[in-house]
Amino acid sequence: MVNLSKKCLDFIARMSDSINELYTNPAVSPAEAAQAAAEGMTKALKTPGIRDRIGSFIRNSYLSAMSTQAINFVNNLVPIITSPIIRTLSGKPREGLAMLEGITEGFLEAFPRFFAGLSKRTEDFDGNTHNAFDIVRNKYADAALTYPQKLTGALDQAFSAVLERMEFKAMLHRIKNSFPDEYFTRNGLDKTKFVQELEQVALKRGDGNLSFLRLLENQSPELYQQLQEFAAAGTFRTPLGRSLLDQMGKKISDAKNVAPELNLVVPFVRTGINVAKYAGGFIPGLGQLRVRQAKKDIELLDSQINSLLQRETKAKEKANQALFPGQAESLRAKAQALETRRRKLEGTRTFKEEQIPEFYVQQVVGAGMMLSTYGLVNAGLLTGHYSSDPATRQKQMASGMREMSIKVGDRWISYDRVEPFSTVMGLVADGMTALKEGRMKGESPGVGDIAKIVGRNLLDKTFTEGLGKMFLAIQESDRYLESYLVSLTNPLVPAIVNQIARLRDPLVRETKDPELADWMLNSIKSRIPGLREQLPARPDVLGQEQPLYGVSTGIAVAPVNQDEVRALLDNPYLTIDRPDRKIGGIELDMEQFAALEQRVGQRVYEVFGMMAANPGFASVPKSLQAKFLKEMVTEIRQQERLAALGTLIQDPALRAQYILKEMQKMGLGSLVEEEEE
């Protein structure tokens, strides 16, 4: 049960009342309301300063749901768990053990670092810098509206504290046992003394290891930089680099700076790309792209390091030859700054060099995950996405199957958006499903089908789902364009309000309407407590209500719900799509269609129940079962559609529309047109 404060409930009530007035105002049609809203938004976007704040509003709206924060928490936790394993498998078991020790120390520092992150404005989030006021000019209101972003930044800081301690422990072991003497000679260091100083630095605590980091930066800029690189990679905050994907991300970021409205499509760029690269690195073959890019980055860094070293040497020589103390001091300061920059670049270079063997190990681990997934899918214990075929998808949903889930006991537990498992396992499961469906049709998946599977698993993520929906709308505009346009209205209602609405009413609701304007308004309504319940429930093809799972945490845990009736749907030859929305040329509105689906579904459930109870039916081959069941569904739908048509044509306008359609079918439409003239 979620308890909300009175102020929060009053705010939601006022919002609900405002939108309810928009719906119930007899003087304003839904189309006019949508047009007025669009004109208002267009006018607002032309107002100076508004366009600069819209991006921040959309990002915070998106992050406000606690389920989003929960998924981010899990995704940040995964690298902490897997990094010691990957380090051990890459041939450095002692460093892996040292990292485990670092986890213990890091978690002690994570909480102070988290609260420190909450107490200040995040200066850099997903590559975006922030002003004194991001959304509104009242500092208290702005602090409340931007709190989701601050919470996300604080979580990143907490996990960074753990990752930094992990890598520092591993580096300390490396320095003691395998660091080359050339490093100490080049930087004028005594190895024994240097190790002792680092151990003293490691003891520094008290403010979430920030003092430790400052001391380390002064003591060894390159080691400090390695920690920063490792922590940024583990929390998906690595700046965009020189790969093709990174360059695309930079262009999108530049476009967002010019047109902040693009945040509706891609609210996050850097984070999403880093998540995709991390997950893709576990796919054998695809992970080689990371190896290749790391080697290219090292070549560039070598060039930059040599250039800085030459400038640093010249500055030191000039300082020694300087005639005036002030000039010598200035040159030494310049040389010191160049040395710090060089040593930080050396830290980045070392980090990338250390990554290469781990990239190979990740691909091996990914191959193992793929083999395991293959076995689990064959055993019916793991699922991918629902089928792209509408009829098959409806059957899967009604059968009790949960997409992107693994069966544990009597529960389906979702692994969706938990990386790298979501990408690797989803890719294999979807590929196996596509092959199975292709065999049923006597076809093989084409290049386009394979690209769609890969794109879906790489882009259908917490931070990139807007981009994924956009690509689907472009590829199959007849199926996805309108739904994509409707999804663009989602940020208008903060995700936390939508989450509260779903917690209060955890059922799938019907929002689609023949008129796009009505559909958009219904979508907004479905995200607001109190208004959501006014929408009809969307039944499955068996006429049963569809509950929502994982609303609070983002990770769905659903019961394995497969009774004898639903078991009949587990038939590869059987496909049952939703009924046609049109009856006699008349397109049903939202309420009419939901009522038709429920009546048809309930009768189908009764018939399926009788068949499931018949022992003789179970002995019939699956293909014949499917044929019989589909015929029964068709007959029931025809009967219900005729009954619905009889009700519809009681309306004179709909009756005239039906008669016109029938006459047009008979080739008599021209007579009607002449009569009207």
Closest CA to 96 of 180, 166, 175, 199: 166
Which three-class secondary structure state does DSSP give residue 621? coil
In a domain, 221, yes or no: yes
Domain endpoint, select from 183, 218, 237: 237
Contact by Cβ (8 Å): 267, 59: yes
Split into its structural domains, the chain has a count of: 4
Q: Give the per-residue pLDDT at 1.
A: 39
**Within this chain, do residues 531 and 575 fall inside the same structural domain, yes or no?**
yes
Burial code (b: 16+ CB inside 10 Å, e: under 16) for 540-559 equals bbbbbeeeebbbebbbbebe
Query: Whole-angstrom Cα distance, residue 558 to residue 541?
Result: 19
**Within this chain, do residues 403 and 505 fall inside the same structural domain, yes or no?**
yes
Q: Give the per-residue pLDDT at 374.
A: 94
Model pTM score: 0.81
In a domain, 489, yes or no: yes
Q: Give the per-residue pLDDT at 171.
A: 87
| Number of helical (H) and strand (E) elements in the chain, helices listed first | 28, 7
Which three-class secondary structure state does DSSP give residue 473? helix
Query: Whole-angstrom Cα distance, residue 224 to residue 530?
Result: 52
In a domain, 346, yes or no: no
Q: How many Cβ atoms from other residues are within 10 Å of residue 241's Cβ?
A: 18
Q: Give the per-residue pLDDT at 25.
A: 60
Q: Give the per-residue pLDDT at 460.
A: 62
Which run of H or of E encompasses 601? Answer: helix 590-612
Helix axis angle for 147-177 and 66-89, nearest 10°, is 10
Helix axis angle for 652-665 and 622-648, nearest 10°, is 120
**Within this chain, do residues 376 and 499 fall inside the same structural domain, yes or no?**
yes
Two tokens, residue 226: 């390695």
Q: How far is residue 272 CA from its own chain's centroid?
A: 8
**Within this chain, do residues 395 and 406 fall inside the same structural domain, yes or no?**
yes
Q: How many Cβ atoms from other residues are within 10 Å of residue 83's Cβ?
A: 23
Q: Give the per-residue pLDDT at 14.
A: 53
**Within this chain, do residues 133 and 173 fall inside the same structural domain, yes or no?**
yes
In a domain, 175, yes or no: yes
The alpha-helical segments, DSSP class H, found in 549-589 are 564-567
In a domain, 269, yes or no: no
Two tokens, residue 550: 């994982």
**Within this chain, do residues 525 and 630 fall inside the same structural domain, yes or no?**
no
Query: Whole-angstrom Cα distance, residue 168 to residue 198?
Result: 10
In a domain, 292, yes or no: no
Q: How many alpha carbons fall within 13 Å on the CB side of residue 164?
A: 26
Backbone angles phi, psi at 582, to 5 degrees: -105, 135
**Within this chain, do residues 199 and 174 fall inside the same structural domain, yes or no?**
yes
**Within this chain, do residues 619 and 567 fall inside the same structural domain, yes or no?**
no
Query: Whole-angstrom Cα distance, residue 473 to residue 491?
Result: 18
**Within this chain, do residues 595 and 478 fall inside the same structural domain, yes or no?**
no
Query: Whole-angstrom Cα distance, residue 532 to residue 537?
Result: 10
Q: Give the per-residue pLDDT at 4.
A: 45
Query: Whole-angstrom Cα distance, residue 465 to residue 5?
Result: 32
**Within this chain, do residues 127 and 205 fall inside the same structural domain, yes or no?**
yes
**Within this chain, do residues 153 and 170 fall inside the same structural domain, yes or no?**
yes
Backbone angles phi, psi at 455, to 5 degrees: -60, -40
Q: Which residue has the tokens 């980090």?
A: 351
In a domain, 327, yes or no: no
Q: How many alpha carbons fall within 13 Å on the CB side of residue 464?
A: 22
Sheet containing 557-559: order of strands: 405-408, 411-414, 557-559
**Within this chain, do residues 478 and 445 fall inside the same structural domain, yes or no?**
yes
Domain endpoint, select from 580, 605, 640: 580
Backbone angles phi, psi at 503, to 5 degrees: -65, -35
| Structural domain for 11, as ranges | 6-45
Query: Whole-angstrom Cα distance, residue 311 to residue 448?
Result: 52
Domain endpoint, select from 237, 267, 295: 237
Any idea what the Cα angle at residue 15 is, between residues 524 and 494, rounded to 5°?
Answer: 55
Query: Whole-angstrom Cα distance, residue 431 to residue 417?
Result: 18
In a domain, 28, yes or no: yes
Backbone angles phi, psi at 274, to 5 degrees: -65, -40
Mean pLDDT for each 10-residue chunk of the chain (677 residues)? 48 52 58 56 53 71 80 90 93 93 87 82 60 61 76 88 90 83 75 80 61 79 90 89 87 79 77 88 92 94 94 88 82 90 92 94 95 93 88 85 91 90 92 81 71 73 65 71 82 86 93 87 91 92 90 87 83 87 86 92 92 88 91 92 88 81 68 49
In sequence order, the 6+-apart residues with CB closer than 8 A to the CB of 69 are 63, 148, 151, 152, 155
Contact by Cβ (8 Å): 516, 490: no
Q: How many Cβ atoms from other residues are within 10 Å of residue 629's Cβ?
A: 21
